[in-house]
C-alpha cells in the first residue's frame, strides 16, 4: 500500500517535471520552422554570436542564466542543422552512413533534462546519441568545454564522428580521446568545444595532469564544466566499484618467487597426486554404495584442490554433488572444528576458493623446509614483546632494539609465507586462458565477467608476480600507487553533470544520494509493443539449459532472430557448445572486441540469426530488424539467468522492441543459479513449488515466482549499494586531502613567481621549527639546537653571539631568521641564471609534494587496513580512519614544507642534474600514457574479480589488539587466536 502511494507520488513528480517542459518543446519547434528560411551561413552565425556573448561573462551563475535563456533558440538551431544534413553521407568508423535524423519531441525533452543536470532515462533505441547533441551544443557555447563520456573507445569514436558532422556544420569543433594518443594529441582534443571519451581516459588524464605533470605545458585538460555520461548506470554504478589507479614500479622489491617456484611446483604436484587418488577412491566408494564416505573424500579434495579435474567432472552428477554438500555441511558445524582441522592437516595445503586464500599444513611446511619447519610460521610477537617488556636487565633503548630485531625476523618470515601463499594461489586457482592469457612474454588478465583482456592491469599484492613466475615469463616489479581517484570523485569535479541510459530508475536513490542526480523517465517516441513473459523456473541448471536450447531451436525454426543473454563468459561458451551440438549457427560475444562485436550485434535482428552475448557485449549498438522479422514477432530476447541487479535484466530486455517494433523477452532460471542459492530465493521457492506439487524435470512459471526472484535481487542491490557507499565514505577523506595537495601542486605549476610560493612556505615552516626548539610549554629552550638546525639547513653562518636567541621571543627569533635566510637566498640567486632558478624553485616544491604524497598514499592504504584490526570495540572504523588520517595529513603538510626548506640551498649546486631531468621529461610523460611500456608508471585498475573488489571490507570482524602494542596492526600480523598464522589467513577471531 505504502509502496503504491509512493509510486503514485514519484510517478506524478516525473510527470510534473516533464509537463513543465512541454511549452518549451512547442517554442523550439516553432523557432525551428522559422530558421528553415535562413541560409546555412546565417544559421551558423548564431553559434559565433552566442559564443562571443558568453565569453564575456565570468560569473558562472550568470552563464547558467544566459544558457537557460537561449535554450529554445539553441536547441532549434541544432534541430534545424540536423534537418539540413538529411540525405548527406557521413563517414563513421570508416563506414559511410546516411544522415536521416531530425530530433523528435521526446528527444528535445531528453535534451532539456540533460541540460538541467539530471539523468534522462530513455529506452534503448530512442536515439540518446542524438539527444546529447542538444545540451552539448548549448553548453559548449560557453567555451569552457563540454564532455561526453562513453563506456568504450569504440563508442567514443563512433559517436564523435557521427555527431561531429552536426557540430561542425554548426561551427563548433569536436575532439575525441582514444587510448593510444600522445599528450599533444590529447591536449588538442580537450581544446575543442566538445570532447568525447571514456571515463577511464578522462579520469587518468586528470590524475596525470594533477598528480604527475611538472609544468602547465604538460597538462592536457582544461577544466570540468559540463559532462554527460552515456550509459550512466554502467559507469557510475558498475564501474564505480574499482577506483582508477596510476602506479609505478615500487622502489624496493623483496620477492623470492623465483626461488620458491620449483619447491611449490613439487608441492602442487604431490598434492595433485594425492587428490587424484582420493577422487578415484571416492569413485569406488560410490560404486560400492557408500555415498557418505565417498562424500567425505570429495570434500577433502575440495579443500586441497578445488579445481581438480576429476572433482569437477564428478560435480556434474547431482547425487555426488549432494554427497559432497552433506559432508561439507557436517564439517562446518561447530562440533566438528577439530575434525576439520585434522582433515586439513592430512593435506599438504588447503585452498579456500571463495576467499582466494591458501594455507600450508604442517606436512606442507615440512616438505618445503624439512630442516626448519618454523620457517613458515610467524613468531608470536605479542607474547615476545610482552616478555621483552618484562625484562629487568634491559634499558628502554635496548628493549626497543630487541623488539625491532624481532619485528625484522617476523617481516622476513611474513614475506616468505606470503610468497608461498601467492604461488599456491597462482598454481591452484588461476588457470591460463581462463583468468589470464600469456602474450608477448606478459601475463594479461582476462575479466571473467566480460571476457575482455585487461592489458596493463595487474593483480595486486604480489599475485601477478607469482603468476609470472609460474608461467616463466619475466617477473615485473611490484607496483606502488602514484595517483588514485574513485570514479565517483572524478565526476564530482564537474560543475554540472548529467547522464543518460535505458535503465536508471531502479538505482534512482543511489544517483540522488551520491551524485545529486535526479532521474527523469522520458516517454518513448512510439508505444512499446514488447511482451515480457514470466520467468520459467527449473530445478537444475541442466534442465534449464536444455529448455533454453529447445526454445532457441523453435524460434530459429520459424526464422525469428534470438538474442541469448548470459551473465558470464563461461555460460556463453557452454551454451555455444550446446547449440553447436544441435547444429544451430550462432555468434558469441564476450565484450572482447568492441568494434567487431558492435557489427555482429547490429546484425542480430536479421531473420534466423542467433546471438549469444554477455550483458556488456555490444552495449550502445542498435539492433534493427531485418525484412520479414516483424511478421514473426520481432527479436526474441532470452535471458539464461537473472543477474544480481534488476537493472541489468531490464537492460537486456530493452534490446528488443525498439521504436515501436514487436519483440518478446523471457528469463530462464534454475534453483542452482548463484542468485537463487545465495540469497534465499531457492528456499522460498522450493516451498511454493512443493505446494504446486512440481516434479523433477518440470518447469514452472507464475508471476509470484518472479517476485521472489526480484526480492532476492533487491537484497543484493542493497548490499552492493551499501558497500559502494562505504568505499566512497573512505575515499571522501582522501578526496579532501587530494584537493588540497593537488591545489598546492597546481599553484606551483601555474605560478609565474614560484619564489613567492617558496617564501610563503618558508614563512609558515620556520616559525613552527623555532617554536619546537624554544617555545615548547614548560620545557627548557634549546637555543643550541635551534642554532645547529639553522646552520645545517641554510648557509647563513650564524653564531650564538649574532643570533642572541635568549634575548628574543619566539616570534622575534622567527622574524630574524626569515630575514637572514631570505637575504642569503637572494644573494645566492643573484649568481644564477634567473630562468633556471625559477624552474628549480618550481621543481623543489613539486618534488617535495610528490615524494611525500606518495608515501602518504601508501601510509593511508596501510591505515585503512589497520583500522579494522584496532581495538575499536564499539568504535567506528571510519571515525578512527578520519581522525588518524587528519593527523597524518597535518604531518604531511608540515613535512612538505620542511622538505622544501631543506632542499632550497642544497640543490642549487646540482643544477646540472636538474636540467637533465627536465630534458628527459616529455619522453617520460609519453610513456606514462602507454601503460604497457616497461619501467614507466602503469595505469591500472586494481585486482580482483568484481565480486572480491566489491566485497565490503567493513564486514571483517573487529579484533581487540591493544593499540599501544600494535599501532599499525595489519592483515599480515599474527592472528590473536594464537595460531601463529597471519590474521588474514586465520579465523578472524577476537583475542
Ligand atoms: P540509444 O543510444 O538510445 O539506444 P542510438 O543513439 O544508438 O539509441 O540510436 C538508435 C537508432 O535510432 C540509430 O540508428 C539512430 O539512427 C536512430 N535515430 C535516433 N534518433 C532518430 C531520429 N530523430 N530520427 C530517425 N532515426 C533516429
Ligand atoms: Mg546509446
Give 453's strand partners: 446
Tell me how far apart the alpha carbons of residues 700 and 720 are, in angstroms, rounded to a whole number: 30
Which ligand minimizes its atom distance to the CA of 230? Answer: 2
Q: Is the CB of 608 under 6 A from ligand 1?
A: no
Separation CA 398–CA 392 (nearest Å): 11
The dihedral over CA atoms of 240, 241, 244, 249, expressed in degrees to the nearest 10, equals 180
- Nearest Cα residue to atom 27 of ligand 1: 101
Ligand 1: atom nearest CA of 124 is 4
CA distance 824 to 822: 5
Q: What is the H or E stretch that residue 694 is in?
A: none
478 lines ligand 1 (CB under 6 A): no
Q: How far is the CA of 618 from the centre of ligand 2 (A)?
A: 10
Q: What is the pLDDT of residue 495?
A: 95
**Ligand 1 atom with least separation from CA of 128:** 3
- Give Dmax (Cα) for the chain: 104
In this structure, which ligand is nearest to the CA of 502? 1
Atom of ligand 1 nearest to the CA of 659: 12
129 lines ligand 1 (CB under 6 A): yes
- Ligand 1 atom having least distance to the Cα of 123: 3
Ligand 1 within 6 A of 622 CB? yes
* Ligand 1 contact, 148 CB (< 6 A): no
Q: What is the reported pTM?
A: 0.71
Q: Are 402 and 388 in contact (CB under 8 A)?
A: yes
Residue 946 confidence (pLDDT):
27
Candidates 408, 425, 507, 511; CA nearest to 461 is: 425
Q: Which atom of ligand 1 is nearest to the CA of 82?
A: 23
Residue whose CA is at the smallest distance from ligand 1 atom 26: 101
- Using CA atoms, how far apart are residues 715 and 711, in angstroms rounded to an integer? 6
Q: Ligand 1 pocket check: which of 96, 99, 130 to mutate, most ligand atoms within 8 Å of Cβ?
A: 130
Helix axes 60-85 and 40-55, enclosed angle (nearest 10) = 170
Q: 87-91: long-range contacts (C-beta < 8 A, 24 or more apart)? A: 88/165, 90/161, 90/162, 90/165, 91/161
Tally of CB atoms within 10 A around 60: 13
Residue 38, φ and ψ in degrees, nearest 5: -75, 155
Which residue has its alpha carbon closest to ligand 1 atom 5?
127
Ligand 2 center to 693 CA (angstroms): 45
- At 354, phi and psi to the nearest 5? -60, -50
The Å distance, Cα 124 to ligand 1 centre, comes to 9
Cα(460)–Cα(457) distance, integer angstroms: 9
Give the single-character DSSP code of 352: E
Pocket test for ligand 1, best of 127, 525, 528, 604 (most atoms within 8 A of CB): 127
Q: What's the pLDDT score for residue 679?
A: 67
**Pairing of the two strands 479-485 and 244-249:** antiparallel
Helix (H), strand (E), coil (C) string for 545-576? HHHHHHHHHHHHHCCCCEEEEECCHHHHHHHH
Which regions in the chain score pLDDT beneath 70? 1-11, 241-242, 247-254, 334, 354-356, 373, 377-382, 410-411, 447-452, 456, 460-461, 478-481, 678-683, 685, 688-689, 692-697, 776, 778, 865, 868-875, 906-991
Distance CA 522, CA 22 (A): 12
Distance from residue 137's CA to the centre of ligand 1 (Å): 18
Which residue has a Cα nearest atom 12 of ligand 1?
A: 127
Instruction: Decide: 79 in ligand 1 pocket, CB within 6 A.
Output: no
621-627 long-range Cβ contacts below 8 angstroms, 24+ apart = 621/597, 622/124, 622/125, 622/658, 623/125, 623/563, 623/655, 623/656, 623/658, 625/561, 625/661, 626/561
Give the integer Cα–Cα distance in Å for 821 and 799: 14
**So what's the pLDDT on residue 452?**
66
Q: Note the Cα 185 to chain centre separation in Å.
A: 26
Q: How far is the CA of 525 from the centre of ligand 1 (A)?
A: 11
Index of the ligand 1 atom closest to the CA of residue 102: 23
Give the number of other Cβ atoms within 10 Å of residue 63's Cβ.
19
Which atom of ligand 1 lies closest to the CA of 103? 23
Helical ranges in 392-497 per DSSP H: 396-428, 463-471, 487-491
Grid cell in block for residue 194:
566538445
d(C-alpha 422, C-alpha 975), whole Å: 19
**What's the CA-to-centroid distance between 91 and ligand 1, angstroms?**
17
Atom of ligand 1 nearest to the CA of 159: 6
| Ligand closest to CA 86 | 1
| Separation between Cα atoms, residue 352 and residue 409, nearest integer Å | 27
pLDDT reported for residue 380: 66
Task: Verify whether ligand 1 is closer than 6 Å to residue 501 (CB atom).
Answer: no
How far is residue 563's CA from residue 616's CA, in Å, rounded to a whole number?
13
By the 10 Å C-beta count (0-12 exposed, 13-18 middle, 19+ buried), 634 is classed as buried
Residue pair 54/64 in contact by the 8 Å Cβ criterion: no
Is 619 close to ligand 1, i.e. is its CB under 6 Å away? no
Of the ligands numbered here, which is closest to the C-alpha atom of 123?
1
**Ligand nearest, relative to CA of residue 148:** 2
Choose among 173, 238, 231, 239: nearest CA to 203: 239
- Which cell numbers hold the place of 888? 597524518
Taking the CA of residue 129 as reference, the ligand 1 atom at the shortest distance is 6
Distance 230 CA to ligand 2 centre (A): 7
- Any ligand 1 atom below 6 A from CB of 124: yes
CA–CA separation, 906 and 731 (whole Å): 36
Q: How does DSSP classify residue 959?
A: -
* Closest to 270 in 3D by CA, of 424, 465, 470, 374: 424
pLDDT tens track for 921-976: 433 333 332 222 223 333 333 332 222 222 222 221 112 222 222 223 344 555 44
Angle between helices 877-906 and 754-770 (to 10 degrees): 110
Region of 535 (left: φ > 0; alpha: ψ -120 to 50; beta: rest) is: beta
Residue 130 alpha carbon to ligand 1 centre in Å: 7
C-alpha distances out from residue 237 to 55, 231, 717, 950, Å: 35, 10, 11, 11
Q: Whose CA is nearest to atom 20 of ligand 1?
A: 127
Cα 223 to the chain's mean position, in Å? Answer: 23
Sign of the dihedral defined by the CA atoms of residues 898, 899, 903, 904, in that order: negative
**868 CA to middle of ligand 2, Å?**
42
Q: Please check whether residue 629 is in contact with residue 609, taking contact to mean a CB–CB distance below 8 angstroms.
A: no
Which residues have a Cβ under 8 Å from the Cβ of 940 and sit 6 or more positions away? 245, 246, 247, 456, 457, 458, 479, 931
Quick one: DSSP state of residue 773?
I
Q: What's the 692 CA to ligand 1 centre distance in angstroms?
A: 46
C-alpha cell at 162: 557521427
Residue having the nearest C-alpha atom to atom 18 of ligand 1: 127
Residue 941's nearest CA partner among 606, 584, 631, 479 is: 479
Is the beta carbon of 128 within 6 A of some atom in ligand 1?
A: yes
For residue 797, give the C-alpha cell: 653562518
The secondary element (H helix, E strand) that includes residue 494 is none
Amino acid at each position: 500500500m505504502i509502496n503504491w502511494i509512493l509510486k503514485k507520488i514519484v510517478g506524478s513528480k516525473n510527470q510534473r517535471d516533464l509537463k513543465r517542459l512541454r511549452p518549451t518543446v512547442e517554442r523550439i519547434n516553432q523557432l525551428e520552422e522559422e530558421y528553415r528560411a535562413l541560409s546555412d551561413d546565417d544559421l551558423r552565425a548564431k553559434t559565433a554570436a552566442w559564443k562571443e556573448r558568453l565569453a564575456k561573462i565570468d560569473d558562472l551563475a550568470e552563464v547558467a542564466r544566459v544558457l537557460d535563456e537561449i535554450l529554445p533558440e539553441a536547441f532549434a538551431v541544432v534541430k534545424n542543422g540536423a534537418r539540413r544534413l538529411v540525405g548527406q553521407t557521413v563517414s563513421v568508423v570508416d563506414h559511410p552512413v546516411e544522415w536521416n535524423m531530425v530530433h523528435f519531441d521526446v528527444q528535445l525533452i531528453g535534451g532539456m533534462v540533460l541540460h538541467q543536470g539530471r539523468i534522462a532515462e530513455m529506452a534503448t533505441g530512442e536515439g540518446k546519441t542524438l539527444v546529447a547533441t542538444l545540451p552539448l551544443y548549448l553548453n559548449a557555447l560557453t567555451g569552457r568545454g563540454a564532455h561526453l563520456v562513453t563506456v568504450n573507445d569504440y563508442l567514443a569514436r563512433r559517436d564523435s564522428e557521427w555527431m561531429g558532422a552536426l557540430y561542425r556544420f554548426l561551427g563548433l569543433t569536436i575532439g575525441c580521446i582514444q587510448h593510444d594518443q600522445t599528450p599533444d594529441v590529447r591536449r588538442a582534443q580537450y581544446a575543442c568545444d566538445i570532447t568525447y571519451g571514456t571515463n577511464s581516459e578522462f579520469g587518468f588524464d586528470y590524475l596525470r595532469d594533477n598528480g604527475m605533470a611538472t609544468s602547465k605545458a604538460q597538462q592536457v585538460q582544461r577544466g570540468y564544466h559540463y559532462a554527460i555520461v552515456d550509459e550512466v548506470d554502467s559507469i557510475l554504478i558498475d564501474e564505480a566499484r574499482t577506483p582508477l589507479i596510476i602506479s609505478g614500479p615500487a622502489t624496493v622489491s623483496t620477492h623470492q618467487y623465483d626461488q620458491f617456484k620449483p619447491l611449490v611446483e613439487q608441492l602442487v604436484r604431490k598434492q595433485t597426486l594425492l587428490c587424484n587418488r582420493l577422487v578415484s577412491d571416492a569413485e569406488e566408494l560410490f560404486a560400492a554404495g557408500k555415498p557418505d564416505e565417498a562424500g567425505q573424500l570429495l570434500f577433502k579434495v575440495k579443500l586441497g584442490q578445488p579445481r581438480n579435474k576429476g572433482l569437477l567432472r564428478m560435480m556434474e552428477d547431482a547425487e555426488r554433488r549432494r554427497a559432497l554438500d552433506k559432508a561439507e555441511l557436517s564439517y562446518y558445524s561447530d562440533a566438528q572444528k577439530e575434525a576439520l582441522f585434522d582433515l586439513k592437516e592430512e593435506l599438504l595445503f588447503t585452498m579456500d576458493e571463495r576467499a582466494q586464500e591458501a594455507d600450508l599444513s604442517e606436512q606442507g611446511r615440512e616438505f618445503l623446509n624439512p630442516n626448519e619447519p618454523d620457517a613458515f610460521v610467524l613468531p608470536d610477537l605479542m607474547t615476545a614483546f610482552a616478555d621483552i617488556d618484562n625484562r629487568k636487565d634491559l634499558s628502554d633503548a635496548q628493549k626497543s632494539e630487541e623488539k625491532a630485531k624481532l619485528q625484522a625476523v617476523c617481516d622476513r618470515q611474513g614475506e616468505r609465507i606470503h610468497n608461498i601463499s601467492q604461488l599456491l594461489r597462482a598454481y591452484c586457482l588461476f588457470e591460463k586462458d581462463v583468468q589470464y592469457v600469456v602474450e608477448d612474454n606478459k601475463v594479461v588478465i582476462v575479466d571473467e565477467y566480460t571476457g575482455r583482456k585487461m592489458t596493463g592491469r595487474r593483480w595486486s599484492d604480489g599475485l601477478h608476480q607469482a603468476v609470472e613466475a609460474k608461467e616463466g615469463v619475466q617477473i615485473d616489479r611490484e607496483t606502488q600507487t602514484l595517483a588514485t581517484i574513485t570514479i565517483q570523485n572524478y565526476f564530482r569535479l564537474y560543475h554540472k553533470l548529467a547522464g543518460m541510459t535505458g535503465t536508471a530508475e531502479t538505482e534512482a536513490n543511489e544517483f540522488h544520494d551520491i551524485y545529486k542526480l535526479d532521474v527523469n523517465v522520458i516517454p518513448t517516441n512510439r508505444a512499446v509493443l514488447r511482451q515480457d513473459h514470466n520467468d520459467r523456473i527449473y530445478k537444475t541448471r541442466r534442465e534449464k539449459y536444455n529448455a533454453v536450447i529447445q526454445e532457441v531451436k523453435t524460434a530459429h525454426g520459424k526464422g525469428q532472430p534470438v538474442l541469448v543473454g548470459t551473465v558470464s563468459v563461461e555460460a556463453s561458451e557452454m551454451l555455444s557448445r550446446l547449440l553447436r551440438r544441435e547444429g544451430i549457427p550462432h555468434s558469441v560475444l564476450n565484450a572482447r572486441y568492441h568494434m567487431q562485436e558492435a557489427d555482429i550485434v547490429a546484425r542480430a535482428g536479421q531473420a534466423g540469426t542467433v546471438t549469444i552475448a554477455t550483458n556488456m557485449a555490444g552495449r550502445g549498438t542498435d539492433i534493427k530488424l531485418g525484412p520479414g522479422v516483424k511478421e514473426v514477432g520481432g527479436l526474441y530476447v532470452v535471458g539464461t539467468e537473472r543477474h544480481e541487479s534488476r537493472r541489468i535484466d531490464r537492460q537486456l530486455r530493452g534490446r528488443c522492441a525498439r521504436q515501436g517494433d514487436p519483440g518478446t523477452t523471457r528469463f530462464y532460471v534454475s534453483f542452482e543459479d548463484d542468485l537463487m542459492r545465495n540469497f534465499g530465493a531457492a528456499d522460498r521457492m522450493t516451498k511454493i513449488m512443493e505446494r504446486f506439487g512440481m516434479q523433477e524435470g518440470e518447469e514452472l512459471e507464475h508471476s509470484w515466482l518472479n517476485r521472489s526472484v526480484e526480492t532476492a535481487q533487491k537484497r543484493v542491490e542493497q548490499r552492493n549499494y551499501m558497500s559502494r557507499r562505504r568505499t566512497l565514505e573512505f575515499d571522501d577523506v582522501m578526496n579532501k586531502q587530494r584537493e588540497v595537495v593537488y591545489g598546492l601542486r597546481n599553484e606551483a605549476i601555474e605560478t609565474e613567481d614560484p619564489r613567492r610560493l617558496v617564501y610563503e612556505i618558508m614563512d609558515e615552516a620556520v616559525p613552527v621549527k623555532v617554536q619546537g626548539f624554544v617555545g615548547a610549554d614548560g620545557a627548557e629552550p634549546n637555543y643550541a639546537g635551534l642554532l645547529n638546525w639553522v646552520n645545517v639547513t641554510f648557509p647563513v653562518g650564524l653564531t650564538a653571539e649574532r643570533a642572541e636567541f635568549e634575548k628574543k621571543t619566539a616570534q622575534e627569533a622567527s622574524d630574524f631568521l626569515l630575514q637572514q635566510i631570505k637575504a642569503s637566498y637572494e644573494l645566492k640567486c643573484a649568481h644564477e641564471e634567473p630562468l633556471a632558478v625559477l624552474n628549480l624553485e618550481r621543481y623543489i616544491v613539486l618534488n617535495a609534494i610528490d615524494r611525500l604524497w606518495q608515501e602518504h598514499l601508501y601510509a593511508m592504504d596501510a591505515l585503512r587496513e589497520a583500522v579494522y584490526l584496532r581495538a575499536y570495540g564499539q568504535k567506528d572504523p571510519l571515525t578512527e580512519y578520519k581522525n588518524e588520517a587528519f593527523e597524518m595529513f597535518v604531518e604531511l603538510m608540515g613535512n612538505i614544507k620542511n622538505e622544501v626548506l631543506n632542499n632550497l640551498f642544497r640543490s642549487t649546486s646540482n643544477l646540472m642534474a636538474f636540467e637533465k631531468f627536465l630534458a628527459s621529461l616529455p619522453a617520460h610523460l609519453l610513456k606514462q600514457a602507454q601503460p604497457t611500456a616497461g619501467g614507466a608508471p602503469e595505469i591500472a585498475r586494481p585486482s580482483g574479480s568484481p565480486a572480491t573488489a566489491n566485497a565490503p571490507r567493513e564486514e571483517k570482524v573487529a579484533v581487540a589488539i591493544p593499540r599501544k602494542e600494535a599501532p599499525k596492526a595489519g592483515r599480515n600480523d599474527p592472528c590473536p587466536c594464537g595460531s601463529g598464522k597471519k590474521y588474514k589467513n586465520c579465523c578472524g577471531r577476537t583475542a
